[in-house]
């Protein structure tokens, strides 16, 4: 069965980017008897030494799940809730973000419908409902090992408030223009241990080429490149992978087009504690202050 459109780009980015954290962070995760998970963390940023803390709650009750409710010290609240199998093969998700506009946090509200079928692929429609109706529609069709996908953003002022001359308050618009933007396509080839995709963000902007390969149970390699289609665009790439030394130890490595080499060492100390050490070396300027270092301690109960 095909995964949803955004999953293919996320998989290779998770391999090449997610393991590395160049801040100092302590994370505490605990699970209640009813299955509810509580996660809290405190992060001290590498760049300016500023601190940030978040608290996250997640849990499931039958077909309803709280994917996450996150409250952070940057005056931001995020929530995601899923209703599974509201129709055959269809899940509905409700997402919101709220916070202080003075802190640069936008208020958003989205309803996402996701349909999956072994024969017809995976399709999603993400509707933003605060400022008119805006939709991000995407789909992936899988034929044997081949993938064919597309996505497009649809903007309309339908149901949006608009100012009217002489009126004290805006009135709801009965209709409005419809515009299509950010049309993209995906072509790919996938097997249980190998995935190669070419995906556009904007049809005339650039193409992202991603590859992941599970060479063995211990070794996973990946490659991600951005190929610009515009004349003034700059190509970018990252290559790397993960090697599982044993059940408690994993080593990650990556290098990009700017000659920045990143390493991460993840060690499970015991049943409760895991520590991850990350470093990035700017090999093109060894005498500079562009090098980075980070330490993450995760405590799970």
Domain containing residue 38: CATH number: 2.40.160.10
pLDDT band at 157 (very low <50, low <70, confident <90, very high): low
- On whether the CB atoms of residues 211 and 193 are closer than 8 A, the answer is no
Q: Is residue 113 part of a domain?
A: yes
For residue range 14-42, list pLDDT tens digits in order: 999 999 999 999 999 999 988 899 999 99
pLDDT the model gives residue 289: 85
- The pLDDT tens digits of the residues spanning 105-121 come to 678 899 999 999 988 89
Stretch among 70-74, 210-214, 242-246 having the lowest mean pLDDT: 70-74
Provide the pLDDT for residue 203.
66
From residue 187, how far is each of 6, 11, 38, 235 by CA, in Å? 13, 15, 39, 20
What's the whole-number average pLDDT of the chain? 88
Is the pTM higher than 0.75?
Answer: yes
- Quote the pLDDT of residue 6: 86
- Tell me how crowded residue 8 is: count the other CB atoms within 10 A of its CB: 25
Please indicate, yes or no, if residue 152 is contained in any of the structural domains.
Answer: yes
How far is residue 126's CA from residue 181's CA, in Å, rounded to a whole number? 14
Q: Flag whether 92 is in a domain.
A: yes
Q: Supply the range of the domain harboring residue 44.
A: 5-186+260-300
Share of the chain above pLDDT 90, in %: 65
**Is residue 238 assigned to a domain?**
no
Nearest to 243 by CA among 227, 263, 258, 225: 263
How many domains does the structure of the chain reveal? Answer: 1
């Amino acid at each position: 069965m095909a995964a949803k459109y955004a999953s293919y780009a996320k998989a290779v980015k998770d391999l090449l980017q997610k393991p590395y954290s160049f801040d100092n962070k302590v994370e505490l995760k605990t699970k209640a008897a009813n299955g509810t998970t509580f996660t809290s963390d405190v992060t001290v940023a590498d760049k300016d030494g500023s601190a940030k803390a978040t608290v996250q709650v997640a849990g499931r009750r039958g077909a309803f799940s709280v994917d996450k409710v996150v409250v952070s010290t940057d005056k931001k609240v995020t929530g995601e809730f899923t209703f599974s199998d509201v129709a055959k093969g269809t899940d509905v998700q409700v997402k919101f973000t709220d916070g202080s506009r003075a802190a640069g946090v936008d208020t958003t509200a989205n309803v996402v419908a996701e349909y999956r079928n072994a024969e017809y692929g995976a399709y999603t429609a993400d509707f933003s409902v605060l400022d008119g109706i805006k939709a991000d529609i995407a789909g992936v069709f899988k034929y044997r090992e081949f993938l064919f996908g597309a996505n497009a953003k649809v903007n309309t002022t339908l149901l949006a408030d608009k100012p009217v001359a002489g009126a004290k308050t805006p009135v709801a618009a009965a209709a409005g223009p419809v515009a299509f933007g950010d049309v993209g396509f995906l072509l790919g080839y996938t097997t249980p241990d190998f995935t190669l995709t070419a995906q556009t963000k904007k049809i005339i902007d650039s193409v992202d080429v991603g590859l992941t390969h599970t060479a063995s149970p211990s070794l996973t390699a990946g490659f991600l490149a951005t190929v610009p289609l515009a004349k003034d665009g700059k190509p970018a790439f990252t290559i790397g992978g993960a090697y599982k030394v044993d059940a408690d130890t994993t080593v990650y490595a990556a290098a990009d087009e700017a000659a920045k080499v990143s390493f991460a060492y993840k060690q499970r100390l015991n049943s409760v504690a895991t520590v991850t050490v990350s470093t990035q070396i700017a090999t093109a300027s060894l005498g500079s202050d562009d090098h980075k270092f980070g330490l993450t301690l995760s405590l799970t109960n």
